Every structure is written in structure tokens, then in C-alpha cells.
Amino acid sequence: MRRVLGLLAVAAVTLGIAWWLAGLPGEISIAIAGFAIETRTGIGVLGAAILLAALLLGLRLMLAILHIPRSLRAWRARRRRERGEAAVTTALVSLAAAEPEAARTAARQARDSLGDTPQTLLLAAEASRLAGRDGEAEAIYRRMEGQADAAFLGLRGLFRQAMAREDWSEAADIARRAAKLRPGGAWMREERLALAARIGDWEQAQGLADGAPLRLAFATAAALSATSPDRELTLAKRAWKLERGFTPAALAYAAALRAAGRESKALSVLAEAWREFPHPALAELALAPVSEAMARMAAATKLSAGAPQHAETHFLLARTALDAGLTGEARRHLAAAQGAGLAQKRVFLLLAALEAAEHGGDAAGQAAQRDALLRAASAEPDSAWHCDACGTAHAAWHPACPSCHAAGRLRWGGPPRLALAAP
Ligand SMILES: [Zn+2]
């Protein structure tokens, strides 16, 4: 309806103009270079309007012809960009599908179409890396390092390659260069931390660590690897103050104090650590300088006074009492340790030793020993340092698991229940 009204309006205006032109009075006479035109005013005005429209059309046509080369160039550039973008998508999909050769081909096409941009170079490097062409990938990463907007990406790739081939000094050098470009970046921080943990630079690892368990593990490791007794004492004290119940830190601090001649302070640190977390290694260090059996029992009683009802305390006292020939006292503490929930192999081995000491070689004693040894064979394994990332048991504590390199993941106790991997 609106269109019909519009057409009617245009027709009315056209008719109005035609009527106005036809009604114009007089004539127009034009003489140019010997040509003379004479016509009525209305026809003259109409002719001038048609001439003007033709001139405008001609001008537009001429401009369009002049723009043809530029338009062609723009069309070709658009085609190239579209081809490049399609190649980038293909390369990304091939990388995700782990199809290295297809990814390399698509990345090469993307570079041909779009040039060496950070995106196309990264795709090409990742495709080469996936194809196992490390030299090719390294050359592209180095090219990226030379471009201001791709330098960090290049260094990131070079760093990962250095870590993979365990070239620690090269990795550390690259990490320093990358950290200058993006100071405080989370990824670089994590990678530098992993590197520091792998090369045993514990003080740097502590500075980069996020979270108390990691800081504690690295602080303890820094103390244990200190090169001078004074430095060891300072670092060990710092680590122990982070968590007084952390056995490796308490052991490091007490050992440093003992080495500095501060025996009574060393024993008080061990006693405090026992109160927080009774660990057999604390007793081993505390009792090491004491050789006489009764004195060892007295030292064990003093060490464990802060946690008198703990199963480990009863087990320690049972062992030292047995060594001192106090079999009744040993039996009482051993029963208390079992009553407190300790049912590990060592309990039954100590029970067998107790039966042997108490009953000697008589038939009843031998039967009791056999029974205790049988129970030891099927008892829970003794506590150990276990990595709760990979489950491996280790005889000694380490700041990072020697098996899987996970840092700060060793816990004292029985084997951890690891989550099963999804099928
Ligand atoms: Zn592990």
C-alpha cells in the first residue's frame, strides 16, 4: 500500500514538472562554434537536465574504470586473507587431532597467505614440534624471539624445549629473558619454580612457591643443602618456624643446633616437634648420643612427654624399655600402642623380640614368637614417606618426589589411596 502511494506521488510530481515545463513561456536560443539551437524553454530545460545526468553518469563510469586495478588488488588480498584464515583453522584442528603432517602443511599455507605473524609462526612451530622436528621448531621459535610482539611466545617454546632435553642452564637463561618480558606472569612463575625444583635451587624455589606446603618443603630443602653451618642453622630455624610439627624441618634445625654445640636447645626442638607430630626419626636423632639403655629410656620419656598417650610414644617407650631389659614395662607400652590403633609390622616384630626376651627358648615362648611373626607377615606395612601424587614409597624425605618430581607431596604414613585414572 505504501509503495502504491509512493508511485502515485512520484507520478504526480513528474506530471506536475512536465506540465510546468510545457507551460513555460518563450524560447531558448544557443549558438556554439557555428551551431545554433533554438527551442522552446520547456524542451531546453529538459534537454539541459538530460545532458547533466549523462555527464554525471559518464564521470562515474570513468572513476570506476580508474579504480579497477585497486579493486582487483583488494579482491586478491581478501581472497588471500580468507585462504589464510581457513588454513589457520585447519592447522588448529589438525593440532587438536594430533595430525602433525596435516598441521605442518596447513601452517605453511597460513604463512604463505598471511605472512609470518605471531599466530602463523606459533602454529608452524607447534606443528613441527608435534611432528618431532625439534630443530625446525627451534628455528621458528628463534625467529619469533626476534619479533617484538612474538618474542615471549618464542621464548616460551624455547624454554619448553630446553626443559624437555633437561638442559637446565639453557632453560634458566631463557627463563630469565622471558621473565624480563612478562614480569610476574603466572605461567613463567610456575615454570621457573619447576626448573628451580629440578636443579635443586631451593632458595629460589621457596621465593617462587605459592602455598604453605610448598614453601615449607623448599625452606627445609634450602636448609639441608646449605653450604655453611651458620647458613644451615639460619635456614633450618626459618623452616622449622613455618611449621613446628614438620619432621624434616625439626630434624634439620635440631641437627644444626647440635652441630653448633647447643644440645639442650636441640632436644627441646625435637620434644616440641614430637608433641606436634610424633615421628620415629625425631627419637632416633634425640637418642643418638645416648648409649646406655636406661639413659636412653629416660631420654625417650623426656622427649615424648608432650604426647604421652600417642601410639608412637608407647611404641618408642616399649622399644627402649625392652632394650633396657624392662620386659613388663615394654609389654605394657606395646599393648597401649596397639590399643591406640598401631597395627603395623614393626609392632609384631617387637612383640616377637619381647617374647624371646621374656620366655627365652621354652616351648611356650617359641610358640608366642611364631605367632607374633606370623601376624607381622600379614600386618599393615610400616609408615614411610609416600608421594601422594604417584604413590611411591621413599626411605627418606625429599622436597620433590624422585619418581614423579612433584614438589612438596611426600607425606609420612601408610600408602596413600590414589584416585584411579578415568578410563
Ligand atoms: Zn611422586
How far lies 268's CA from each of 160, 254, 258, 261, 302, in Å?
47, 9, 11, 14, 10
Nearest alpha-carbon partner for 349 in 371, 372, 326: 372
Nearest alpha-carbon partner for 375 in 341, 345, 350: 345
Structure-derived torsion over alpha carbons of residues 58, 63, 65, 71, reported in degrees to the nearest 10: -150
Taking the centre of ligand 1 as the mean of its atom positions, its distance from the CA of residue 390, in whole angstroms, is: 4
Return the number of other C-beta atoms located less than 10 Å from residue 113's C-beta: 18
Can you give the three-state secondary structure of 253-272, one letter per residue? HHHHHHHCCCHHHHHHHHHH
Residue 31's φ and ψ, nearest 5 degrees, are -125, 115
* Amino acid (1-letter code) at residue 306: G
pLDDT at 417: 67
Taking the centre of ligand 1 as the mean of its atom positions, its distance from the CA of residue 198, in whole angstroms, is: 13
Name every residue whose Cβ is closer than 8 Å to that of residue 359 and which is 6 or more positions away in sequence. Answer: 365, 366, 368
pLDDT at 421: 45
Taking the centre of ligand 1 as the mean of its atom positions, its distance from the CA of residue 412, in whole angstroms, is: 13
Taking the centre of ligand 1 as the mean of its atom positions, its distance from the CA of residue 404, in whole angstroms, is: 4
Taking the centre of ligand 1 as the mean of its atom positions, its distance from the CA of residue 408, in whole angstroms, is: 10
Taking the centre of ligand 1 as the mean of its atom positions, its distance from the CA of residue 155, in whole angstroms, is: 29
Global pTM? 0.65
pLDDT at 3: 79
pLDDT at 423: 41
pLDDT at 228: 92
Q: Residue 91 in contact with residue 127, Cβ under 8 Å?
A: yes
Taking the centre of ligand 1 as the mean of its atom positions, its distance from the CA of residue 407, in whole angstroms, is: 8
The span from the CA of 192 to the CA of 176, in Å, is 9
Taking the centre of ligand 1 as the mean of its atom positions, its distance from the CA of residue 346, in whole angstroms, is: 25
pLDDT at 422: 42
Taking the centre of ligand 1 as the mean of its atom positions, its distance from the CA of residue 406, in whole angstroms, is: 6
Buried/exposed 116-155: b ≥16 CB within 10 Å, e otherwise: ebbbbbbbbbbbbbbbebeebbbebbeebbeeeebbbbbb
Cα 84 to its chain centre, rounded Å, is 32
Label the pairing between strands 393-394 and 35-40: unpaired
Taking the centre of ligand 1 as the mean of its atom positions, its distance from the CA of residue 386, in whole angstroms, is: 8
**Angle 134-145/151-164 helices, nearest 10 degrees?**
150
pLDDT along the chain (423 residues), means of 10: 76 75 74 75 78 89 88 92 94 94 94 92 93 94 91 92 88 87 81 84 85 90 92 94 95 96 97 97 97 96 96 97 95 96 95 89 84 94 93 93 89 74 43
Q: Report DSSP state, residue 200.
A: T
- Domain ranges in the chain are 207-289, 293-380
Taking the centre of ligand 1 as the mean of its atom positions, its distance from the CA of residue 234, in whole angstroms, is: 29
User: Strand runs (DSSP E) across 178-304, as ranges?
Assistant: none
CATH class name, domain 207-289: mainly alpha
pLDDT at 176: 86
Taking the centre of ligand 1 as the mean of its atom positions, its distance from the CA of residue 161, in whole angstroms, is: 23
Three-state secondary-structure class, residue 334:
helix
Q: Report DSSP state, residue 414.
A: S
Three-state secondary-structure class, residue 383:
coil
pLDDT at 419: 54
Taking the centre of ligand 1 as the mean of its atom positions, its distance from the CA of residue 256, in whole angstroms, is: 28
Residue positions counted in the chain:
423
Q: Residue 406 in contact with residue 400, Cβ under 8 Å?
A: yes
Return the number of other C-beta atoms located less than 10 Å from residue 233's C-beta: 20
Cell 601408610, residue located: 414
> Could you tell me the sign of the dihedral formed by the alpha carbons of 339, 342, 345, 347, in that order?
negative
Q: Residue 36 in contact with residue 29, Cβ under 8 Å?
A: yes
The span from the CA of 183 to the CA of 23, in Å, is 85
pLDDT at 69: 87
Taking the centre of ligand 1 as the mean of its atom positions, its distance from the CA of residue 418, in whole angstroms, is: 11
Taking the centre of ligand 1 as the mean of its atom positions, its distance from the CA of residue 416, in whole angstroms, is: 11
Taking the centre of ligand 1 as the mean of its atom positions, its distance from the CA of residue 215, in whole angstroms, is: 18
Taking the centre of ligand 1 as the mean of its atom positions, its distance from the CA of residue 63, in whole angstroms, is: 74
CA angle 183, 185, 191 (to 5 degrees): 105
The span from the CA of 377 to the CA of 348, in Å, is 9
pLDDT at 209: 83
* Amino acid (1-letter code) at residue 150: A
Taking the centre of ligand 1 as the mean of its atom positions, its distance from the CA of residue 214, in whole angstroms, is: 14
Nearest alpha-carbon partner for 20 in 54, 38, 45, 49: 45
CA angle 277, 283, 289 (to 5 degrees): 150
Taking the centre of ligand 1 as the mean of its atom positions, its distance from the CA of residue 317, in whole angstroms, is: 33
